[in-house]
């Protein structure tokens, strides 16, 4: 189990550290997970400083968070009665939604994946595939093999394979072993429909930090909610109150045009003296992690420590290596090493 901590320090810097990388013996029930989490928080002395916990959307995790929430409620240390205590992983939710959308073409995806593996398994096959691509004037020079547990990786594989659909058909005529991996014309059309659907919904097209949106003509437009907010400010601008609360002062502030370069932490840092209470609330909310991707990358790092030749390390030693490396990197300003190859798309070059 990996436990990471997120907080905003006195200089308004968002920090993240690996607190624990520990072995949790089975059974991995909600109660066992909650006990392990509470033990970790208690050892760090931060039980009364927790605002939100983000976990994957698994049933055992739901039970664990309910148990923890009840424990924290007894201590009367929950922010706004615990409404922010359990934050679900947005990345995991998105992944599940897209996986459901890919289910209707799951068999076709399997064909494409096996076909790419087949070509990549032999240099001779790659050369023949590249020759056919060149003869058909295909500009793409690579195939992509996905990581099947990541939807965006599967999207990349399908998007790339669509560029070679004619090559797939022609290559099968010269290599009988490849014929089982060639989708039919109707299958390719279904893949293309799914690709267009995924492309419209991908978070990578418009930055999540940019509140501008694109309309169908490609022009930027402000979300309806922002327009309503601006209308409210304009309508209430002429009202002069003898004394205004901090919230009213905040709402009467001039609206800043939303852009992807806007640094919300820097804004709250600069206005913390003007809004002392709201700035503390902003610290609590803005430090909430929206996903557990960082924890999963820690598990990837763990795979490099607990490898076949060092699989007998004690749990305490593994925790010391993983946590120590994370804190030392931060202390000396070192960047993390690149992810393992198996965590990325496998690119098969055809030059």
d(CA 5, CA 37): 12
Instruction: State the pLDDT at residue 224.
Output: 57
Alpha helices in the chain (DSSP H): 30-43, 59-75, 90-102, 106-120, 123-135, 151-162, 165-174, 185-201, 224-236, 246-251, 264-270, 276-286, 293-305, 315-331
Cβ atoms of 197 and 101 within 8 Å: the answer is yes
Which residue has better confidence, 277 or 351?
277
d(CA 161, CA 179): 15
Q: In the chain, pLDDT over 90 holds for what percent of residues? A: 31
pLDDT at residue 210 is higher than 50: no
Instruction: State the pLDDT at residue 221.
Output: 53
Instruction: State the pLDDT at residue 212.
Output: 40
How is residue 121 written in tokens? 């398994």
Domains along the chain?
2-89+292-319 (3.30.420), 105-202 (no CATH)
Write out pLDDT tens, residues 78-119. Answer: 878 888 889 888 888 888 888 888 888 889 999 999 999 999
Instruction: State the pLDDT at residue 193.
Output: 83
Instruction: State the pLDDT at residue 240.
Output: 47
Instruction: State the pLDDT at residue 250.
Output: 92
Among 45-59, 239-253, 277-291, the range scoring the smallest mean pLDDT is 239-253
Write out pLDDT tens, residues 283-340. Answer: 888 888 888 776 666 666 666 667 666 677 788 888 888 888 888 888 888 876 554 4
Which residue has better confidence, 288 or 206?
288
Please state the rounded mean pLDDT for residues 124-134: 93
Residue 10: CB atoms within 10 Å: 8
How many whole angstroms from its chain centre is CA 95? 9
Instruction: State the pLDDT at residue 123.
Output: 92
Show contacts of 153-156: CB within 8 Å, 24+ apart.
153/345, 154/102, 154/109, 155/98, 155/195, 155/198, 155/199, 155/202, 156/345
Instruction: State the pLDDT at residue 262.
Output: 86
pTM over 0.85: no
Which residue has better confidence, 40 or 210?
40
pLDDT at residue 58 is higher than 70: yes
């Amino acid at each position: 189990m990996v436990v990471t901590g997120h907080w905003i320090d006195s200089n308004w810097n968002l920090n993240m550290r690996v607190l624990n990388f520990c072995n949790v013996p089975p059974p991995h029930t909600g109660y066992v997970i909650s006990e392990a989490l509470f033990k970790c928080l208690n050892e760090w002395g931060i039980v009364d400083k927790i605002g939100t916990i983000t976990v994957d959307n698994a049933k055992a995790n739901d039970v664990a968070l309910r148990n923890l929430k009840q424990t924290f409620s007894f201590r009367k240390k929950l922010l706004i009665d615990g409404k922010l205590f359990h934050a679900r992983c947005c990345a995991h939710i998105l992944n599940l939604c897209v996986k459901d959308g890919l289910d209707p073409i799951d068999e076709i995806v399997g064909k494409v994946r096996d076909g790419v593996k087949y070509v990549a398994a032999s240099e001779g096959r790659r050369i023949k595939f590249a020759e056919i691509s060149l003869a058909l004037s295909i500009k793409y020079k690579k195939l992509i093999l996905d990581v099947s547990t990541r939807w965006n990786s599967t999207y990349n594989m399908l998007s790339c394979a669509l560029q070679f659909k004619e090559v797939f058909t022609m290559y099968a005529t010269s290599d009988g072993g490849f014929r089982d991996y060639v989708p039919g014309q109707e299958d390719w059309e279904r893949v293309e429909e799914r690709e267009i659907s995924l492309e419209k919904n991908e978070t990578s097209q418009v930055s999540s930090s940019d509140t501008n949106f694109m309309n169908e003509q490609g022009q930027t437009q402000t979300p309806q909610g922002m327009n309503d907010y601006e209308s409210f400010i304009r309508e209430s601008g002429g009202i002069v109150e003898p004394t205004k609360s901090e919230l009213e002062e905040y709402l009467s502030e001039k609206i800043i045009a939303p852009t992807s370069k806007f640094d919300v932490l820097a804004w709250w840092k600069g206005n913390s003296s003007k809004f002392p209470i709201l700035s503390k609330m902003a610290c609590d909310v803005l430090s909430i992690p929206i996903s557990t991707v960082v924890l999963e990358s820690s598990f990837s790092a763990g795979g490099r420590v607990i490898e076949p030749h060092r699989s007998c390390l004690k749990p305490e030693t593994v925790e010391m290596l993983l946590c120590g490396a994370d804190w030392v990197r931060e202390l000396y300003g070192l960047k993390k090493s690149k992810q393992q190859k198996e965590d990325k798309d496998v690119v098969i070059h055809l030059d």
